[in-house]
Amino acid sequence: MKIDVLTIFPEYFDSIFEFGIIRRAKLAEIVEINVHDIREYATDKHKMVDDRPFGGGDGMVLKVEPLFAAIENLTGTSDRDAYPAGTRVVLLTPQGKPLKQADAQNYADDAKHIVMICGRYEGVDERVTEALVTDEISIGDYVLSGGEPAAAVFVDTLVRLLPGALGSDTSAENDSFSDGLLDCPHYTRPAEFRGMKVPEVLLNGNHAEIEKWRHEKALEKTRSVRKDLLIGENGDM
């Protein structure tokens, strides 16, 4: 998979993709990540990428010309209906669809090239959204100073789902939200610490009992912390 990140603060990403799973995935050529300065696509002598909004109001808006030029350069077209197969242009914005684990899995399964636009200020010129953006994504119901942290979260969520990125083929399958539940509790050595003991069921080697216990604990945790995940379309638990 290829990921291109468009931002006015490329230095934000100087080291953030150089750790852990993402770094290993890059070295293994599972993913290619490139960060681009939107200012490189501005054509005026001052390299302006933002301007005051028409109609007045607070803040600034990211200009249309640099973003069109950037997307045209990265995808070969400024017509989202003509993007190469597997190409997604994602705008990170508080107005976007909340990112869910299932969405990340769909991107990992189907996307070959993802271009992420990091919003800033009051947002981007709406013509960018109308003509170029295939998906608007939010990482939560709150406002950030810009889309850079959201892009970092999205990349991390996505890369770990790519085949071969994790040490175990089943690690991602057992994560929280993968089956609609939060993850179960986990323990490691020692079996007892300051009087606190690891549940006996995890020590007996009976894998059927262990899986049953893990499911029950995941259900218990979800019911306690995120009951909304258990509510069906008809409102039943």
Give the residue numbers annotated as catalytic, written as ranges.
Answer: 94, 122, 160, 175
Q: Which of 107, 211, 113, 117 is nearest to 160 (CA)?
A: 107
Reading phi first (left if > 0) and then psi (alpha if -120 to 50, else beta), residue 47 is in left
Integer angstrom CA distances of residue 178 from 105, 160, 202: 9, 13, 22
Burial annotation 95-118 (CB, 10 A radius, 16+ → b, else e): ebeebebebbbebbeebebbbbbb
Distance, CA of 181 to CA of 184 (rounded, Å):
9
Closest of 132, 152, 112 to residue 71, by C-alpha: 132
